[in-house]
Structure 1
Amino acid sequence: MDPYKYINSLSRFGTDAGFKPGLDRINALLGSFNHPEDRLKVIHVAGTNGKGSTIAFLKSIYTEAGYRVGVYTSPHLIHFNERIEVGNRAISTAELTDLVSELVPRVEDLKKDPEVGGPTYFEFVTALALLYFARKDVDLVLLEVGLGGRLDATNVIKEPLVSVITSISLDHTSILGNDVKSIAREKSGIIKRDCPVVTGVRNKEALRVIEETAKLKNSPLKIIDKEYSYNIIESSLEGQSFTVFRLNNGDYSLEKEAESINGTEKIEYFIKLPGVYQVRNALLAMAVVDYLQEQYPVNLVQIKKGLASAFIPGRMEVLARSPLIIADGAHNVEGVKKLVNSLGPLINEDRQFYIIVGILGDKDVEGMIEMLDFGKAKKELIITRNTNSRSCSPEVIGQYAQRRGIKYRVYPDLKTSLTGVLNDARPEDVICVTGSLYTVSEAKILVQSGIKHNSQS
Structure 2
Amino acid sequence: MKDSFSHYRQAVKYLDGFANLPGAYPHDGKQPSRYIEYLKRTQYFFDLIGNPHKSIKAIHVAGTSGKGSTSANIQSILTTAGFTAGLFTTPYATSFTEEFKVGDQYIAPNELADIIDYLKPFVDEAYAKSPYGGPSHFEIKTAIALIYFARQKCDYIVLEVGLGGEFDATNAKTNKVASVITNVGLDHTDILGNKLEIIARAKAGIIKPKVPVFTTAKDSKVLEVIYKIANKNKAPLTVVNSTNPNQDLASAVCAHLGIDKKDIQRGLKNMFIPARFERILKTDIIIDGAHNPDKIKYLVEKIKKEKEKYNHLTLIFGAAQDKPAIKMLELLHPIADEILFTKFSNPFRKAWNPHELMKKLHKKVNRKKNQDAAFLDPIDALYDSFLYHQVG
Amino acid in structure 2 at the alignment position of 1:305: R
Matched, 1:309 2:270: yes
CA deviation after TM superposition for structure 1 residue 158, in Å: 4.3
Q: 2:386 aligns with which of 411, 422, 443?
A: 422
SS of the counterpart of 1:163? strand
- CA separation in 2, counterparts of 1:30 and 1:62? 26
The 8 Å contact of residues 185 and 210 in structure 1, kept in 2 or not, is answered as yes
* Worse-superposed segment, 395-404 or 344-353: 344-353
- CA separation in 2, counterparts of 1:74 and 1:176? 18
Matched, 1:286 2:251: yes
| Aligned CA distance change for structure 1 residues 378 and 124 (closer, same or farther; 3 Å) | closer
- CA separation in 1, counterparts of 2:366 and 2:223? 36
| Aligned CA distance change for structure 1 residues 208 and 321 (closer, same or farther; 3 Å) | same
- Structure 2 match to 1:381: 339
CA deviation after TM superposition for structure 1 residue 416, in Å: 0.2
The 8 Å contact of residues 56 and 157 in structure 2, kept in 1 or not, is answered as yes
| Aligned CA distance change for structure 1 residues 12 and 57 (closer, same or farther; 3 Å) | farther
Matched, 1:9 2:25: no
- CA separation in 1, counterparts of 2:309 and 2:61? 41
- Can you list the C-alpha shifts for 1:159-212, whole angstroms capped at 9, x where unaligned? 410000011111111111112111111111100111110011112221111111
Amino acid in structure 2 at the alignment position of 1:8: D
CA deviation after TM superposition for structure 1 residue 14, in Å: 6.2
After TM superposition, list the pairs within 5 Å mapping 1:23-422 onto structure 2: 23-113=39-129, 115-225=131-241, 279-293=244-258, 298-319=259-280, 324-347=284-307, 351-374=311-334, 377=335, 379-389=337-347, 390=349, 391-403=351-363, 404-406=365-367, 407-422=371-386
The 8 Å contact of residues 158 and 192 in structure 1, kept in 2 or not, is answered as no
- CA separation in 2, counterparts of 1:341 and 1:17? 35
- CA separation in 1, counterparts of 2:296 and 2:25? 35
SS of the counterpart of 2:295? helix
After TM superposition, list the pairs within 5 Å mapping 1:412-451 onto structure 2: 412-425=376-389
Amino acid in structure 2 at the alignment position of 1:304: Q
The 8 Å contact of residues 44 and 130 in structure 2, kept in 1 or not, is answered as no
The 8 Å contact of residues 24 and 135 in structure 2, kept in 1 or not, is answered as no
CA deviation after TM superposition for structure 1 residue 16, in Å: 5.2
| Aligned CA distance change for structure 1 residues 400 and 97 (closer, same or farther; 3 Å) | same
- CA separation in 1, counterparts of 2:85 and 2:245? 22
The 8 Å contact of residues 25 and 116 in structure 1, kept in 2 or not, is answered as yes
The 8 Å contact of residues 49 and 122 in structure 2, kept in 1 or not, is answered as no
| Aligned CA distance change for structure 1 residues 185 and 10 (closer, same or farther; 3 Å) | same
- The structure whose residues are more often strand, as a share, is 1
The 8 Å contact of residues 72 and 273 in structure 2, kept in 1 or not, is answered as yes
- CA separation in 1, counterparts of 2:376 and 2:317? 12
- Structure 2 match to 1:270: none
- Can you list the C-alpha shifts for 1:212-264, whole angstroms capped at 9, x where unaligned? 11111111100012xxx6xxxxxxxxxxxxxxxxxxxxxxxxxxxxxxxxxxx
- CA separation in 1, counterparts of 2:149 and 2:310? 52
The 8 Å contact of residues 12 and 120 in structure 1, kept in 2 or not, is answered as no
CA deviation after TM superposition for structure 1 residue 114, in Å: 6.4
| Aligned CA distance change for structure 1 residues 13 and 183 (closer, same or farther; 3 Å) | farther
Amino acid in structure 2 at the alignment position of 1:358: G
Identity %: 35
CA deviation after TM superposition for structure 1 residue 123, in Å: 0.4
| Aligned CA distance change for structure 1 residues 347 and 135 (closer, same or farther; 3 Å) | closer
- CA separation in 2, counterparts of 1:41 and 1:422? 46
| Aligned CA distance change for structure 1 residues 118 and 350 (closer, same or farther; 3 Å) | closer
| Aligned CA distance change for structure 1 residues 321 and 31 (closer, same or farther; 3 Å) | closer
- Structure 2 match to 1:265: none
SS of the counterpart of 2:343? coil
| Aligned CA distance change for structure 1 residues 100 and 321 (closer, same or farther; 3 Å) | closer
SS of the counterpart of 2:313? strand
CA deviation after TM superposition for structure 1 residue 342, in Å: 1.4
SS of the counterpart of 2:134? coil
| Aligned CA distance change for structure 1 residues 95 and 320 (closer, same or farther; 3 Å) | closer
CA deviation after TM superposition for structure 1 residue 69, in Å: 0.6
SS of the counterpart of 1:193? coil
CA deviation after TM superposition for structure 1 residue 349, in Å: 11
The 8 Å contact of residues 12 and 121 in structure 1, kept in 2 or not, is answered as no
Q: TM-score, normalised by structure 2?
A: 0.88
SS of the counterpart of 1:355? strand
Q: Which has the larger radius of gyration?
A: 1
Unaligned runs of 5+ in 1: 230-276, 427-451
Amino acid in structure 1 at the alignment position of 2:388: D
SS of the counterpart of 2:59? strand
The 8 Å contact of residues 61 and 306 in structure 1, kept in 2 or not, is answered as yes
- CA separation in 2, counterparts of 1:17 and 1:347? 41
Cα RMSD for the two superposed structures: 2.2
The 8 Å contact of residues 12 and 122 in structure 1, kept in 2 or not, is answered as no
SS of the counterpart of 2:337? strand
The 8 Å contact of residues 25 and 137 in structure 2, kept in 1 or not, is answered as no
